[in-house]
Amino acid sequence: MDKKEILKRVDHTLLKAYATWEDIVTLCEEAIANETASVCVPPAYIKRIHDTYGEKITICTVVGFPLGYSVTEAKIAETRKAIEDGADEIDMVVNISDVKNGLYQKVEEEIRALKEVCKDKILKVIIETCYLTNDEKIAMCKAVTDAGADYIKTSTGFGTGGAAIEDIRLFKKHIGPNVKIKAAGGISTREDLEAFVKEGCDRIGTSRAVGLLQ
């Protein structure tokens, strides 16, 4: 598979707690040079990236990350601030406790509330598959679809497991036609990248893709 075909789907990611501005600059320069879909960065760096690179780069950030149990009002505030600072895409984490408690309607309402803030900005919904049963994953496919989000995403990369091909296949059976798929977490080889693209992932979240495809 052509590396450009893969890279245009990659959210080039750096979400470590100790990421420095020098690290972020390296990430952004790599993203621009390799024409990745976006950089996925901590919220605290959005404005500086936007002020430095302007329209050269698409900025993705995270909300309610990585545990998801912030209250909805806090996630709304995070989302508004991120967009105000220059974010183009939001990757939110669902309230996993609500999912485990079967409060699927509540989860859907939270996703819908964030999509209303995002408007035409892209909203990706991280459901953290490693903690969920198949029935819960299917319920999240429905919630993401009914709430009008743009993507369902497998993982934060901070949980006990990452993306799995089986989950991508499950998603494809149960999401609506307007929902795309993002795989993230543990994608560490070129073979992994190619496999997830072939399975139909429109985005892949990884810090490794640029290096793997050199």
Active site residue 182: yes
The candidate with the shortest Cα–Cα distance to 185, out of 209, 161, 152, is 161
CA distances for 92 relative to 1, 88, 130, 140, angstroms: 30, 13, 16, 13
Q: How far apart are the first and last CA of the chain?
A: 13
**Do 62 and 46 meet the contact criterion of CB atoms below 8 Å apart?**
no
Task: Name the E strands within the chain.
Answer: 10-13, 38-41, 59-63, 89-93, 122-126, 151-153, 180-184, 203-206
Which residue out of 11, 85, 91, 150 is catalytically annotated?
Answer: 91
**Do 93 and 65 meet the contact criterion of CB atoms below 8 Å apart?**
yes
Active site residue 98: no
Which residue out of 75, 115, 124, 153 is catalytically annotated?
Answer: 153
- Residue 107 has which token pair? 């989860």
Which residue out of 75, 115, 124, 182 is catalytically annotated?
Answer: 182
Active site residue 202: no
Q: What are the residue numbers of the active site?
A: 91, 153, 182
